[in-house]
Amino acid sequence: MNALTLTLTQIMAAVGALLVLVLIWRTASRRAKAAASAARTSARFVSLAGRVLFNAALIVVAQWIVITQRGSGWLLVAVLAVPALFASYTLAKALTVTTYEPRRRGGERR
């Protein structure tokens, strides 16, 4: 039987090739994760935009029906006021600036 003999140069070349393969695999893995994250983010935005447009269309249709069919005074107020309240709540919440203040330990004063 023949014994397998490798020189130091061949061993170092094999280790280097394995290292390059591992680095290529890690880079491809990171790029795939970044692409998947970007796809999820854009899908979330499209889904949110679709839901917003659908709900807005429902509100407009309900308001249009009540206004054109000469609904009673209170019905007209309700149809116009309820969506306005939801919109104002959403805008106020979105535009409110909040800060994060970490808790102090041991009753520390400033």
Instruction: Tell me the CB-side half-sphere exposure of residue 103, using CA atoms within 13 A.
Output: 3
CB neighbour list of residue 83: distance below 8 Å, 6 or more residues apart: 59, 63
Confidence label for 18 from pLDDT (cuts 50, 70 and 90): very high
> Could you tell me the CA-to-CA distances from 11 to 1, 3, 95 in Å, in that order?
22, 16, 62
Contact 66, 75 (CB under 8 A): yes
What pTM does this model have? 0.42
| Tens of pLDDT, residues 21-41 | 999 999 998 888 888 877 776
